[in-house]
Amino acid sequence: MIIGYARTSTLEQQAGLEAQLEALTEVGCEKIYSEQVSSVARRGALSEALSFCREGDVLIVTKLDRLARSVRHLGEIVDELTKRGIALRVLDMSLDTSTATGKLMLNVLGSIAQFEREMMLERQREGIAKAKAEGKYKGRKPTARMRTAEVLQLLGQGYKKHEIAQRLRISQRSVYRIVNEAHRSVAVECNR
C-alpha cells in the first residue's frame, strides 16, 4: 500500500498543505495522513501513519522537512521503517530508500538540511542581537496576554483552564500565566 504524509507548521499555510495533498494523490497514495502542527510539537497524524504502515508498504512525503525535525529524528524514522520492511520516498528529491543509493542520499541530504537550518538559526540570532543593540528589536507581540480579559471572563464562568486554552486557541501555559499574574495583582492591591 502507498501511504502519504503531509504537514505544514501553521494554519496560515493552507495552500502549502493543499499542494502536498495534491502531489501525494497524483503519485497514487491510497491513504493520506495530514496535519498542521509545528515540527517540534507532538505530531499525531505522523504517529498514525507510521503505525498504519505494514511490511511492503511505501511511505511518501513531498519534502524531507515535512517528515523529520533533525538528522537524528530522520534516522530514527528511517530505522523504524527499515526494520519493519517499509520504504520511504521523498518526492522533491526523487529519493527512494528501497535502494542502497537512496539510503545513502537520504543520509547525505538529511545532514545538509540540518546544516542549513542551523546556519539559518545562527544568522537569525545574529540579526536579533544586532537589532537589540540598535534598539530596534522589541520581540514578538504577546498575543496570549492580549486575551487576558477573555481568559478571566471564561474562568469566572466556570471553564477549566485547559478548556479555556482550547477555546481561545492559546497554550495552557499562557492561561496559567495570565491567571497567576491576575492573582498576584489582586494580592498586591489587597496589601496596600
Give me the active site residues, please.
9
Phi, psi of 2 (to 5 degrees): -105, 120
Residues of the chain by 3-state class (helix, strand, coil), percent to 5: 60, 10, 25
The number of angstroms, rounded, from the C-alpha of 40 to the middle of its chain's C-alpha atoms is 5
Q: What is the number of H-type helices and E-type strands within the chain?
A: 7, 5
Strand bridging mode 95-96 / 87-90: antiparallel
Place of cell 520492511: 85
Question: E strand or H helix at 58, and its extent?
Answer: strand 58-61
